[in-house]
Amino acid sequence: MRILVTGAAGFIGMHVCQLLLSRGDQVLGVDNLNDYYDPALKISRLNLLKSYSNFEFNKLDISEATPLNAAFQKYAPEAVINLAAQAGVRYSIDRPDIYIRSNIVGFANILEACRLHEVKHFVYASSSSVYGSNTKVPFGISDRTDNPVSLYAATKKSNELMAHSYSHLFNLPSTGIRFFTVYGPWGRPDMAPWLFTEAISRNQTIKVFNQGRMERDFTYISDAANATSLLLDKPPTYFEDIKSSYPPCRVVNVGGDSPIQLLNFIELIENAMVKKATKCFLPMQPGDVVATWADLTELHQIIGCQAKVSIQSGIASWVDWYQKYTSGELSLH
């Protein structure tokens, strides 16, 4: 299958591309290689993908419609996985313009290109942040998602609504994936696992928000990538009867289904590094939520129950990768 993957040099994007390439798909990776965090990490991920003969790369920004449409025209993808987005909850408070350009304008450009080129399945990254200030856990697909607590969350909810409208109007099969705190090797430097591990390694103080009274449903990267590829292979179908009709679209949760207290998560990193952290306890940050937990009922109905990497094994693998990468052993420049 010919698949166009945006955000290919990103954390989830690289792992999804690698999985698709390993199973024999033809992949066109798209990324603008921006400097939200060190582009050297993105280049290293990209160089790993370039070792596959069935991988092509096109540097472009999805917020620019003309080059994006040219890529669609040349490559003629059968399916599209949109993982390109401006990430980060807290950064959206400081730079809302970037989120609107990438996550709204760019997403609209992708949808329109999928429509024009008759893509058979459009898969895109949503986020657990759409659940906002909901207090009922686990978070289920039918729960309300109209109370976002950050602009980032609002853009992801907007993506789901936009995809729904395109599915309804143009019969474009679409699957939105609400990822829950994905972590693991090649992860992002702005996320908690990297920040905590780096601080411990450098004998610096860890910032622990909400006095540590937080829970996260962490998802190991291989589980997230595997779920994405399996969902890609099973596009939603059009259903119609006398009473109602439904466009071929859906959203699903992808998470670990086993939330862990933040302080316990830090302890696992300490154990893997054989080194204690110095902690500074701070109030809740704007845009954060106290707890996340994914209800995976719909995911299991579509792809079946899958074996998951335990948080203990996942953290051990993460710390091992981090130490090798920061020592230069895995730098692929």
Active-site amino acid positions: 152
Q: Tell me: cis bond preceding 138? Omega within 30 of 0 counts.
A: yes
Asked if 29 contacts 5 with a C-beta cutoff of 8 angstroms, the reply is: yes
> Nearest-CA neighbor of 12 among 163, 162, 208, 226?
226
The full DSSP string for 98-139 is HHIIIIIIHHHHHHHHHHHTT-SEEEEEEEGGGGTT--SSSB
Phi, psi of 176 (to 5 degrees): -100, 135
CA gap 126, 153 in Å, rounded: 9
> Nearest-CA neighbor of 195 among 69, 90, 333?
90
How far from the centroid of its chain's Cα atoms is residue 80's Cα?
15
> Nearest-CA neighbor of 183 among 128, 226, 220, 224?
220
Query: Regarding beta strands 174-179 and 55-59, do their DSSP bridges make them parallel or antiparallel, or are they unpaired?
Result: unpaired
Phi, psi of 121 (to 5 degrees): -155, 130
**Which helix (H) or strand (E) covers residue 320, if one does?**
helix 311-326
